Amino acid sequence: MNEHIVKSYEDELNTLTAECTRMGGLTEAQIADALAAVVKRNHDLAAAVVGRDDRLDESEREIERRAIRLIALRQPMASDLRRTVAAMKIANNLERCGDLAKNIAKRSLVIIESDPMTPLTRSIERMGKLVLTRLTTVLDAYTRSDLERALAVWSQDDEVDEHYNSLFRELLTYMMGDPRTITASAHMLFVAKNLERIGDHATNIAEIVHYEITGEDMISPARPKTDSLKA
Amino acid sequence: MNEHIVKSYEDELNTLTAECTRMGGLTEAQIADALAAVVKRNHDLAAAVVGRDDRLDESEREIERRAIRLIALRQPMASDLRRTVAAMKIANNLERCGDLAKNIAKRSLVIIESDPMTPLTRSIERMGKLVLTRLTTVLDAYTRSDLERALAVWSQDDEVDEHYNSLFRELLTYMMGDPRTITASAHMLFVAKNLERIGDHATNIAEIVHYEITGEDMISPARPKTDSLKA
């Protein structure tokens, strides 16, 4: 192979990783804004999140197209192949996080219309910040190929579940105490569930980074779990 | 290439598709049993679903391993590459359906402990059967490479959403009418949501089958949507 082709192959791989990192940044922004829409009861923020979601869908398609083209034309081996597959899988997880952020933004519009639920909103904010930190950390780990950092995210999977379980109980109590809050609380229940699922995607990404770096799967029975009702 | 290698390559591709079809069958059984656990209030069925979920996780890992090995060693082109990528993506969707079925089974255990919610359970049963039919049909389309059948599933995405929206309203009314039902109803809300998400995976699989057969993406804005709060 001449140097030109080698360079261009490296370029393609780097572009793929860079696209994925950029998509990660956009996803973080979507989640932060969706959370702020709920917490600050801000209609405009919610609308902005909904409007930007198409960009994430397009990013995922673009990364997938690039990855498949790269596999077909360049036939990457070993670690290059893992890097390519990892980019596709991470993009898929990010796209799903984006959908969840969009859904949170849409639900915030219903929640805004009801009376403020101050203590619940604080719990949601705490949970959202925790989830966002996990995602940011694992995306850092991806960008820097930092196995230790990825494993740290993976092993702290429990924390989000604990927040979710306590919020679930808090919300049911709230509903029972005042049936007029049931509609808004039901939407808040799904906001909490969506945050928990974003946390799961952060864990998935940690597993993908582990696979990319080591070439080995993490077998899920080892994965820490406290919430028996997760999906 | 000699005939032996050609045959063995074909064999590998066929095995991949067959594994995926088999995983589809197991997923259908998991969903049917999880639904029956809710409808018939059957503890044993729920436990069986939870116990079998590991097999789906293992199937997905196996299909992914085979697909990546096939890409790396055989370097499939064009339609063979699409077939390989499609198997990986379908396995991923089926694994997620399996998680949702397991979650329904776990929630059925909480629901069984409360008083029967007969009219709601009938609505859940109807929605569950619709979702299951969609999944069965799209898996048939995959097995037979039947584009028309896949497109039929894809274009009827709306029906499940309508069921879900009506169930969501029905459940909130139920909760407001009798706050003692709130805990069981909240779990039922997630059962309905999980069924809706299984329906979305059926739609995703229809898109993957379309891509496998035609080589073209279906762009999501064309996708029918009625529920503005989906995720």
- Does a structural domain hold residue B227? no
φ, ψ for residue B111, nearest 5 deg: -65, -40
- Does a structural domain hold residue A114? yes
Which residues of chain B have a CB within 8 Å of the CB of A79?
A: none
**B11 burial via Cβ count (<10 Å: 0-12, 13-18, 19+):** exposed
- Does a structural domain hold residue B228? no
Does residue A49 surpass a pLDDT of 90?
Answer: yes
- Does a structural domain hold residue A17? yes
- Does a structural domain hold residue B148? yes
We report the CATH number of the domain holding residue A85 as: 1.20.58.220
The count of domains in chain A is: 1
Residue A103 in contact with partner chain B when CB distance is under 8 A: yes
- Does a structural domain hold residue B230? no
Segment A23-42 shows an average pLDDT of 97
Q: How many Cβ atoms sit within 10 Å of the Cβ of residue B130?
A: 17
Cα A49 to Cα A44, A90, B55, B126, B180: the distances in Å are 9, 20, 38, 34, 36
Do the chains contact at B172 and A179, CB–CB below 8 Å?
Answer: no
* Chain B CA closest to residue A72: B77
| Residue B202 and residue B139 in contact, taking contact as beta carbons nearer than 8 Å | no
From B81, B220, B228, residue closest to A68, measured CB to CB: B81
Residue A6 in contact with partner chain B when CB distance is under 8 A: no
Residue B95 confidence class, pLDDT cut points 50, 70, 90: very high
Q: What is the ipTM of this complex?
A: 0.84
pLDDT at A205 (0 to 100): 97
Query: Rounded to a whole number, what is the distance in Å from the CA of A228 to chain B's nearest CA?
Result: 7
Segment A21-39 shows an average pLDDT of 97
Residue B72 confidence class, pLDDT cut points 50, 70, 90: confident
Does residue A6 surpass a pLDDT of 80?
Answer: no
Query: Rounded to a whole number, what is the distance in Å from the CA of B14 to chain A's nearest CA?
Result: 20
From B71, B100, B172, residue closest to A182, measured CB to CB: B172
pLDDT at B96 (0 to 100): 95
What letter would DSSP give residue A114? S
Does residue B68 surpass a pLDDT of 90?
Answer: no
Segment B181-186 shows an average pLDDT of 94
Provide the domain limits for residue A117.
3-222
Per residue in B9-41, pLDDT (tens digit) is 889 999 999 999 999 999 999 999 999 999 999
Q: What average pLDDT is seen over chain B?
A: 90
Residue B179 in contact with partner chain A when CB distance is under 8 A: yes
Q: What average pLDDT is seen over chain A?
A: 90
pLDDT at B221 (0 to 100): 44
Which residues of chain B have a CB within 8 Å of the CB of A179?
A: 175-176, 179
Per residue in A128-161, pLDDT (tens digit) is 999 999 999 999 999 999 999 999 999 988 999 9
Does residue A227 surpass a pLDDT of 90?
Answer: no
- Does a structural domain hold residue A227? no
Closest by alpha carbon to B13, among B89, B58, B67, B75?
B67
Do the chains contact at B103 and A183, CB–CB below 8 Å?
Answer: no
Residue A224 confidence class, pLDDT cut points 50, 70, 90: very low
Query: Rounded to a whole number, what is the distance in Å from the CA of B103 to chain A's nearest CA?
Result: 6
Which residues of chain A have a CB within 8 Å of the CB of B186?
A: 168, 171-172, 175, 186, 189
Cα–Cα distance for residue pair B148/B134, rounded to 1 Å: 14
pLDDT at B122 (0 to 100): 94
Residue A228 confidence class, pLDDT cut points 50, 70, 90: low
* Chain A CA closest to residue B217: A61
Per residue in B199-215, pLDDT (tens digit) is 999 999 999 999 999 98
Per residue in B212-231, pLDDT (tens digit) is 999 887 755 445 444 456 55
- Does a structural domain hold residue B118? yes
